[in-house]
Each structure stands twice: as structure tokens, then as C-alpha cells.
Structure 1
């Protein structure tokens, strides 16, 4: 991860107001096992836009293979690599066993609704895997002059509306509460039944009243727990989430049930 984030790692730590100690895969597995958490490990490939080496799908798959009780994984591909990106997504799912695709429009430098990248979505539909899009601001490049060249507008949730409409069979997950465009994300998710919410990367104590109402109400069947570990720990996220008073059934849906249904996991 250190090499893949390059000089932006320190800016990200400042953004989250935390210093992230380096951990081995073994240490991470022990930590998640102690918290009874199944972690979704994310690969990373923004090589074209950022010039940094990928955190590869093979590495993520090797971690999942080593600790299948605590890890599952999502692939990443660089959208600008065209046919090679499509082929890599297919390999990551069919050969490596990864369960989804993670894309970061701002860091990868592409607009989600640009039709040049539609072959990726068509392949995800064919493979029956969800696509997780980063939405909203990002800690990467935050506080750096020029933001490290990262353009936030590429991660506006409204851009996903076109994708959801053009690919009704594609399951789309909007990652993070999408600040400062939370209302856009809620509008898209409430209008398009193939759009889900990921709740990572933003303390529930900072959620808007509209987001709390949606997550505990009409979108409770399509809301997914996430922490953005290591920047936010499971314990801190859960304590903040419980401050909103979810009942036991809704809490179980968001922490386990929805993800189990979406990814075909054992809910236990």
C-alpha cells in the first residue's frame, strides 16, 4: 500500500488525523478475527493517471487464499488500459476468485459515465460482480497544493446515474457517504434499485440527518457497513453508528446481512 499511495500517504494520514502503523497481513488477519469482521480487501491500479505501481489483484487474492475466514477481495483495473483492463477483470474474477471491482474515478482520472469505459461494466454484468465506485471527496492529495492533481468532480455521484440507467443489471456501490454530494448519492440510490450505499470512510457521527434517515429507513436493504480501515477502526465506526439508535434488525442488515446477500457469503 505504501508504494501504491506514494507521496500521498502522509496527506491521507493528515486528512484522517491519524498515523497509520504498518502492519503485516498476519497482524491484520488477527485484528479482524478478534473483531469478528470479514474484511473486503481492495486492489488498486491508478498507474496511468498517477504513475504509481499497482497493488495487484494477485496480491489481494493471495491474502484471501491465506485467510479466507477473515478476507474476501475486490479487483482493481486501470480503466485507461482498455482491452487489457477488461481481460484483467475477467482473470481476477474467474481465475483469482475476487468478488467485485473497485474503481476510483478521481484518482484514476476518468468519468464513470464516459462510454469509452462501458466495456468494463458490461463485463462486470457478464461476470455477475458488483462495481464499487469511490464517491465524494478523498483524503488522497488532501491539503497538498493542487490536490496532487486529483479532480474531485470525477467522483460526483450523479455521474453514476447514467451508468445505472444504461446498465440496469449492473450492481453499483457508491463508496463512502459522498460528501459534499450526499444528497446526489441518496437521490441516485433511491431512484435506481441497482445502486447501493457503502458507509465507509466517514464517521457516522458526521452523517447528515438525511443520510441517517435513509440508511435506517428506505435504503436499509442496500446499505453496507465499511470502515476504510486502517484510517477508521471497526470499533470506532460501530460506536458512532449505534449513536443513531438503529434497532437490532437494521444493525444486523447493515453489518452482515446485506453484504452476505450481495456477495453470496455465509451470513454466519
Structure 2
């Protein structure tokens, strides 16, 4: 963090072959806590060979998130297809975040509408989650402009949209409340 100026740590436990709560990872979490740096965990669907889906369920990260309340963690891709498990993690742990870099099967617009109105209740984001969800695109596979355009079609208050597009990411990266 000091020599390279890294903004945080990104881990893909299913691909890298460890459980998030393995003792081998503890020094990394402690380092992130010491330097006030966030941890991004790949969660949900992964196209990577050998990255078993069962190891990417958002609930697999609970023990780590629970035992490190001073570290900000993000579970990527809204944990899709386990969106409601991700929502449960967000509700239970204020140090847990997620992002919108979701795998879309049909179109980005249909996927974002489904995420924000079916997979979650239509007001869940605004009423309970608007401080923990960040815009992300997982480029180059899913283009930022397409996901942004899709999210623009989802009904939400302006303040919630600002947090989604940039405010939450800034707070996640910098650790400021």
C-alpha cells in the first residue's frame, strides 16, 4: 500500500483455491485494516475454469466479514445468482458492499430492471441498501456504458442514484463516512 499506492486488495477465493476464512488470508485482512484499505471478493457467477460456483456463494464470506468489522468488503456482481443472500449480507453487515457488474443473460436493461425490481423488492435499494451498492461494469466483458444506460432506466431518487454511481465507491475506497 505504501510502496505501490494500492487502493485495496482484490481476491477470487474460488479461483485462487482458498476459503475466505482460511488462516492463510488473515495477515492480508489485518494489513488492510491497519492501512484502512478495502477488500474486494469475487462473489457469484464466475466464468473462470476451476472456480466452483459453490465457493462463490455470498454466504461463504460471512465469517470473514463478521470477524473483521473494521474492514470494508465488497462482494462483486451482487453475488448473482444469489442476490437475496447478498442482500442479507448487506443488511446484516454495514462493512459489506456489492456492485452492479452483473452477468446479463438477455439485455443489460432487462437484467438491471430484474435486479432492482424482482430479485430485490422495488424499493429495497432506496430504503435499505443505497449506501452499500456501487456501480461497476466488469469491463471488457460487460461494457460500462451499457450498464450505466441500463441503470438509468431503473426508477430511484436522485440522491440514491448519486450514491450508486460514485458516492458509495468513493466511501468504499477511502473509508470516509
Aligned residue runs from structure 1 range 227-266, under 5 A: 227-264=137-174
Q: Give the SS at the match of 1:173.
A: strand
Residue aligning to 2:5:
97
Q: Distance in 2 between matches of 1:119 and 1:184?
A: 27
CA contact (8 A) 2:37 2:174 kept: no
Give 5+ residue unaligned stretches, structure 2: none
Question: Which whole-Å CA distance do the structure 2 matches of 1:98 and 1:182 have between them?
Answer: 29
Separation in 2, partners of 1:241, 1:212: 13
Three-state SS of the structure 2 residue aligned to 1:218 is: helix
Match of 1:120 in 2: 28
Secondary structure of residue in 2 paired with 1:177:
helix
Structure 1's unaligned 5+ residue stretches are: 1-92, 141-147
Per the normalisation by structure 2, the TM-score is 0.85
Q: CA deviation at 1:240?
A: 1.2
Separation in 2, partners of 1:200, 1:211: 19
Query: Structure 1 residue 206: deviation in Å?
Result: 4.2
Higher relative contact order (CA 8 A, sep 6+): 2
Deviation at 1:264, TM superposition (A): 3.1
Question: Is the Cα contact below 8 Å between 1:106 and 1:154 reproduced in 2?
Answer: yes
Aligned: 1:210 with 2:111: no
Q: Which has the larger radius of gyration?
A: 1
CA drift of 1:113 comes to: 1.7
Counterparts of 1:257 and 1:180, CA distance in 2: 25
8 A Cα contact 1:109 1:154, kept in partner: no
Contact 2:38 2:73 in 1 (8 A): yes
Deviations along 1:98-152, whole A, 9 cap, x unmatched? 1011001111111112233211111111111000001111122xxxxxxx32212
Describe the SS at the equivalent of 1:129: coil
Deviations 1:208-242 (A, max 9, x none): 43175433331101111001111122221112112
Aligned to 2:53: 152
Would you say the 8 A contact 1:112–1:159 is kept in 2? yes
**Do structure 1's residue 130 and structure 2's residue 63 form an aligned pair?**
no
